């Protein structure tokens, strides 16, 4: 009987059914030059309000932006690497890009990106206490009620309704467009957070 129980224990497994991938890499680009360019563009474009509360979000960038070209090339390169890793069809290309400039207490509401495959953000300027990016578990709404704090021994990738990653200059994040995300307020009273967000689609 003891041997049988031992064999039964050896058969127990944790099978991970659904995983949410977030691709992360550090780029070596001229962020100072790009930062100044983004600020200059903000003086020429009234911008728009979509997920942003306060701050300035540009309209979709069109035409030539030579100062940002190395970033655009890196976005497409890493988006295709991400797609190959998770077995999405490729090649992929950028469909939309826009600039975000967030001052004191500016933030982005939880949102997702429709009509594309993957999305992402690149951080150009991230002063101290400028906020972090948060990702919602796809089961977020249910987990808020049924898996609340008192039920958790530890917050981890299985038990967390929400997970954050740092906003850090030079970081590029790429993730599925259906993954809901938000950005917490910039609490730096003097400096602004600057980033470029994007959507990527299949060339076919």
Tokens of 170: 């030079």
Whole-number pLDDT of residue 82: 97
pTM: predicted TM-score of the whole model, two decimal places: 0.91
84 confidence band (pLDDT: 50, 70, 90): very high
CB atoms within 10 A of CB 128: 8
Residue with tokens 């609340």: 148
pLDDT at residue 86 greater than cutoff 80: yes
In the chain the domains, ranked by start, together with CATH numbers, are 28-152+160-202 (2.60.120.620)
Average pLDDT over residues 173-193: 97
Whole-number pLDDT of residue 146: 84
Nearest Cα residue to 197 out of 170, 172, 180:
172
Beta bridge partners of residue 173, listed in sequence order: 24, 121
Handedness of CA 77, 89, 18, 197 (dihedral sign): positive
Tokens of 22: 């977030």
Task: Give the whole-angstrom CA distance, residue 125 versus residue 105.
Answer: 16
8 confidence band (pLDDT: 50, 70, 90): low
Average pLDDT over residues 92-113: 96
pLDDT at residue 174 greater than cutoff 90: yes
Whole-number pLDDT of residue 153: 87
Under a CB-based contact definition with an 8 Å cutoff, are residues 167 and 132 in contact?
Answer: yes
Task: Give the whole-angstrom CA distance, residue 95 versus residue 121.
Answer: 14
Return mean pLDDT, the chain: 92
From start to end of the chain, where are the E strands? 23-26, 52-53, 56-57, 92-102, 107-111, 118-125, 132-136, 162-166, 171-176, 181-183, 193-202
DSSP 8-state class, residue 61:
P
Task: Give the whole-angstrom CA distance, residue 24 versus residue 170.
Answer: 10
Average pLDDT over residues 25-29: 98
10 confidence band (pLDDT: 50, 70, 90): confident
């Amino acid at each position: 009987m003891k041997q049988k129980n031992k064999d039964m224990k050896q058969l127990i497994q944790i099978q991970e059914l659904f995983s949410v991938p977030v691709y992360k890499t550090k780029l070596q680009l001229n962020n100072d030059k790009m930062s100044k360019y983004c600020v200059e563009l903000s003086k020429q474009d009234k911008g728009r309000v979509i997920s942003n509360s306060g701050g300035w979000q540009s309209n979709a960038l069109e035409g030539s932006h030579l100062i940002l070209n190395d970033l655009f090339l890196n976005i497409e390169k890493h988006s295709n690497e991400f797609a190959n890793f998770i077995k999405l069809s490729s090649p992929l290309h950028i469909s939309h890009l826009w600039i975000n400039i967030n001052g004191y207490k500016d933030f982005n509401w939880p949102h997702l990106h429709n009509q594309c495959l993957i999305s992402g953000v690149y951080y150009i300027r991230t002063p101290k206490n400028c906020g972090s990016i948060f990702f919602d578990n796809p089961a977020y709404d249910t987990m808020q009620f049924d898996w609340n704090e008192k039920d958790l021994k530890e917050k981890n990738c299985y038990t967390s309704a929400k997970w954050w990653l740092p906003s850090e200059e030079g970081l590029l994040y790429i993730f599925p467009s259906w993954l809901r995300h938000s950005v917490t307020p910039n609490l730096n009273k003097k400096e602004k957070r600057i980033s470029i967000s994007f959507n990527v689609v299949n060339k076919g």
